[in-house]
Amino acid sequence: MTLDILGHLILWFILILITFGIGAFFFPYSFSKFILNRSELIDEHGNARKMVCNTDIFGSIGHVILWIIISILTFGLGYAFYFYKVWNYSLNNTTIE
């Protein structure tokens, strides 16, 4: 599990460098999906139920473009709000099996 986390962070760090920062707008989707897909919810009977995040990069491209524009207009301050909106979006698109 720790190696998965480290590998995920290193991969995204490299992608952000290669894309000159544009990858930073896609990272929160990947980050939230990475965490949610590895999480379990314990129901009232004590059974572990897997969480499944149903987001993808292509379905969120309009959201990404909007927040790139907002972040540029606010000189980067909008990115802090963007990160929270991505979590909201990801949780709203998560199901429990």
Q: What is the pLDDT of residue 62?
A: 85
Q: Is the model's pLDDT at 11 over the cut of 90?
A: yes
Residue 47: predicted pLDDT:
92
Output the CA torsion 54→80→16→29 (10° steps): 0
Residue 97 CA to residue 85 CA, distance in Å, equals: 24
At 24 the pLDDT is 87
Q: What would the two tokens of residue 9 be? A: 């962070």
Which pLDDT does position 64 carry in this prediction?
Answer: 87
